Amino acid sequence: MDKILKGIMKYRCTVRETMVQQFVKVKDNPTPDAVFFTCIDSRMIPTRFTQTNVGDMFTVRNAGNMVPHASCFPDEQNSNEPAALELGCVVNDIRHIIVCGHSDCKAINLLYKLRDPEFASKENRRLSPLRSWLCTHAQTSIDKFNDLESRDFNGHLVFQAETPLRKFIAYIDPEKKFSIEDRLSQINTLQQLQNIASYGFLKKRLEENQLHIHALWFDIYTGEIYYFSRASKRFVIIDESNIEKLFKEVIVFYS
């Protein structure tokens, strides 16, 4: 708390006035451009690496940047993530949903260990909300990972996109430069796009191309950010050499 209180005092002396001006400019009618799902990891600061500001994004954070599949919820029971999707994309008419995973994700590292049946037993899950959360909402990610691992990480995976008839192919770390857990993190990030598309209240917007889903992946040790390119069928680094190509792809796929 000492560090936080000192930080607040520094904020008052430095950026508070600028932020208040931004709040006044946005007023009661902000026009955010994206709903941004990412992990609660303290190293993830999305407003910094996207250079977004007041009123630009809805940000939703949880352990492992999960968006539970709609089938996980019986009638009249739900959770924060679909509520955020409705608030953002239906109430506020936001047109872009972004899921951002990252390297060395502690939740995903634990998910990798949960492939051990004893470690993931019902008793252990009952005692650990984190294990229960991961086992409940990330089993499909594990299944896809196990499939790819059985092929020595060669070949591709198939994910559902905006509609059941629209799918995309993904090659996961074809150069094999990331750790096993980081490959699982990338698979899990893409799985959330499929989960997002499972919600009925988004169905019409997704079918009519009024709502678009994207995946980013952040390497916290290099500071590099990757975008999942449906044209390239893989995560590609966002840098000066290919930014124009990515701009063109976004126009083709999402216009």
pLDDT at 9: 94
pLDDT at 108: 98
pLDDT at 26: 86
Domain extents in the chain: 1-30, 31-254
pLDDT at 147: 97
Within its chain, how far is the Cα of 12 from the centroid? 32
pLDDT at 25: 86
Within its chain, how far is the Cα of 91 from the centroid? 21
pLDDT at 28: 76
pLDDT at 255: 64
- Which residues does the chain have with pLDDT short of 70? 76, 254-255
pLDDT at 154: 95
Superfamily name and number for 31-254 = Carbonic anhydrase (3.40.1050.10)
pLDDT at 70: 94
Question: Of 249, 139, 254, which Cα lies nearest the Cα of 194?
Answer: 139
The Cα 37–Cα 254 span in angstroms is 19
pLDDT in tens, 220-249: 999 999 999 999 999 999 999 999 999 988
